[in-house]
Structure 1
Amino acid sequence: MKQRTLAKTITATGVGLHSGERVSLTINPAPVHYGIAFRRTDLAGAQGEVIKLHPNLINDTRLSSTIVTEHGTRVGTIEHIMSALAAYGVDNALIELNAPEIPIMDGSSLPFIFLLQDAGIIEQNAPKKFIRILKTVEVQEAGKWVKFEPYDGFKVALTIEFDHPVFNQSPPRFEIDFAGQSYIEEIARARTFGFMQEVEFMRKNGLGLGGNLSNAIVIDETDVLNPDGLRYPDEFVRHKILDAIGDLYIVGHPIIGAFEGYKSGHAINNALLRAILADESSFEWVEFGENEDTPNAFFGVETL
């Protein structure tokens, strides 16, 4: 299987969920071995330089995964666009934006899927590099846990737990194996969610300034406030899987293994990536010369 990038540059505009700022976003093709990178076009000097993505750059995980560089450059809420890039197996791309946060769009990854479809995905003349999990790696903290186990493919299972009547009406666990299930059908439409009682606290801390019923599921003391309700009966846990896929793809390569989490979030997802990379006996880098040798989980989306 070969590396992938976009066939052409694609642009979009939107609003940052937490900053509330208008954002112009451009996703550019990039050469082989480039990886996923970001650049703030509104900043000059060292702050405006290209940022090659790495798990160690995720230094703010309050309600999102946010890059914070040594120069203080921030690129926030990257998990949804990273989730879409993972779904299409994009290895190389330069993402430019003129604000400190990726636009939230409708709160899911579907608008980014549409952008990638418009741009088109092409194969490049270099083999794709995978990370294959060789042994179980687990991170636990404060009643939460995440782990990766060896598995010849890619599957994700998550369980959520919230003490709220809305969550008692939907299954708390969902599992998807990408060898036989579709990211676009099962995951991409699931939106981010939040509680009305948290809004005042969030805004005092400079978060959630761009959130509304058009880009998030909002929950009051008893019910979902969005007039159209939920897109899936279990949209909450599916969105957590969407987030996890994006958080895990921050490593920049598809991972061959089975991920499972209980009450997981951005911080612990990132901690798992760092734990894997810190233990060289837990993984190996692999390439596949022939497509038939590649696990079926990575053939979900076709290129041009």
Structure 2
Amino acid sequence: MTLHIDPYQYTLQKSVSCCGVGLHSGRTVNLSIKPAPEDSGIRFFRTDIQPTEPIQAHMDMVVDTRLATTIGNERIQVSTTEHLLAALKAFGIDNAEIELDSREVPIMDGSAEPFFQLIKSSGKKKQKSFKKILKITQPIHYDDGEKSISISPYNGFKVTGEICFDDTVIQNQKFSLDLSPENFGQEISKARTFGYVEQVEELWANGLALGSTLDNVIAIHWNRKSVLNEDGLRFDDEFIRHKVLDLVGDLSLLGCPILGHVNAYKTGHTEHFHFMKAIAASPHCWEVVEVQKNGSIPIQMNVSKNSQNKTGTFLPFLNNRDAQPAAA
């Protein structure tokens, strides 16, 4: 059996920009997404800090997973990366430079839709190098109490998420998505982040979530039976759709496309990070495949596990299998 995909790497056709507020700081953020060289991956640049330096969108750079996924080093951090990374992943962008003048990626409307439309307005440009793909050959599991996440062999990239709450407005929700630009745009890009109204009030009291409003967060009512947002929900199961969106964005930090089916139960950013560590620590369960020029990947084949190229930056998930976030 053979899977046919576009073999080439892609970057943006042209630079695009937007402006919004940081969810936690409440500060205005100017963000630009620019074309980047092949094999460079996704890199963030803080223009408000000089001298600036690239922060690779990679699991080794995760420094915090509380409330959002933050990447960086001791001097420079970028938080709330997951929605933008999910949009880039879904649209098939392998290489991009992201410039922003604050610590947070702007929250926009709380979903990935504004970023997805921004990237679509740019279009994508084919590059000369071929894609390298992480192909799962045996199941990998990560468990943390009642929370669990696994990946198994699959002819494509599929994500299944499930959540279970006592709240009437959420209860048990499950959603599956075979990732493609069309499916992403129609099924999960518009799903917004959510929280209990009293949790938001507590964050405000602690100097966090200063940019959160009913325009960018689904606020669950104190009675747990409804939401405070006047327009209601965009989907009956918007909560799990947003969880799947977050998972797609977080898993892009592996540094390359994935062939596998992910199943996640009651997970968040911290579990996603530890799951990526589990994948990197299980080389007997995956292969790194360079897509053939005709766009095919033979599902049964012997391939080299050498993921390093001339720049040493593409597919860097093998670099540090013992990475730990500074706070999780």
| TM-score, length-scaled by structure 1 | 0.91
1:1-304 matched pairs, under 5 angstroms: 1-45=7-51, 48-69=52-73, 71-168=74-171, 172-178=173-179, 182-222=183-223, 223-293=226-296
Distance in structure 1 (CA, Å) of the matches to 2:164 and 2:62 = 25
User: How far apart in 2 are the matches of 1:95 and 1:79?
Assistant: 13
Q: Does structure 1 conserve the Cα–Cα contact (< 8 Å) formed by 2:195 and 2:217?
A: yes
In structure 1, what residue type is equivalent to 2:44?
Answer: F
Distance in 1 between residues matched to 2:180 and 2:63, nearest whole Å: 33
Q: CA deviation at 1:32?
A: 0.6
Change (3 A) 1:186 1:38: same
Equivalent pairs, count:
290
Partners of 1:219 and 1:68 in 2: how far apart? 32
Per-residue Cα deviation, 1:82-120 (whole angstroms, up to 9, x for no partner): 000110111100101000000001111010011101111
SS in 2 for 1:218: strand
How far, CA to CA, are the matches of 2:53 and 2:95 in structure 1?
Answer: 17
Structure-1 separation of matches of 2:125 and 2:9 = 8
User: Once the 2 structures are TM-superposed, how far is the Cα of residue 209 of structure 1 from its aligned partner?
Assistant: 1.4
**Aligned amino acid, residue 151 of structure 1:** Y
In structure 2, what residue type is equivalent to 1:212? Answer: T
Kept in 1, the 8 Å contact 2:55–2:72? The answer is no
Distance 1:180 1:122 in 2: 15
* Deviations, residues 109-152 of structure 1 (Å, cap 9, x unaligned): 01001110111111101101111112111111132011111111
SS, match of residue 250 in structure 1: helix
CA RMSD, Structure 1 to Structure 2 (Å): 1.6
Residue type at the aligned position of 1:211: S
Structure 1 residue 179: deviation in Å? 6.9
Q: CA deviation at 1:283?
A: 1.4
The residue type paired with residue 20 of structure 1 is G
- Counterpart CA distance in 2 for 1:179 and 1:213 is 29
| CA-to-aligned-CA distance 1:168-207 (integer Å, 9 cap, x gap) | 3xx5111112379711101111111111011232224443
Please say which of residues 60-69 and 73-82 is displaced more in the overlay.
60-69
State the AA in 1 paired with 2:128: N
CA contact 2:29–2:104 (8 Å) conserved in 1? yes
> Deviation string for 1:249-281 (max 9, x for gaps)?
111211100001000100111111111112221
- Displaced runs of 4+ in structure 1, greater than 6 A? none
8 Å Cα contact 1:60/1:68 also seen in 2: no
Cα distance, 1:290 vs structure 2 = 3.7
2:272 alignment partner, SS class: helix
Change (3 A) 1:2 1:98: same
State how far apart, in whole Å, the 2-side matches of 1:179 and 1:229 are. Answer: 27
C-alpha contact (below 8 Å) 1:56/1:274 kept by paired residues:
no
- Residue by residue, what CA displacement relative to the aligned partner does 1:42-97 show, whole Å, maximum 9, x if unpaired? 0013xx2111222021121111101131x231100000000001101111001010
Q: Which moved more, 1:57-66 or 1:274-283?
A: 274-283
Displacement after TM superposition at 1:291 (Å): 4.7
Gaps of 5+ in 1: 296-304
Return the structure number with greater helix share.
1
SS at match of 2:170: helix
Unpaired runs of at least 5, structure 2: 1-6, 299-328
Rounded Cα–Cα distance in structure 2 between residues aligned with 1:122 and 1:191 = 29
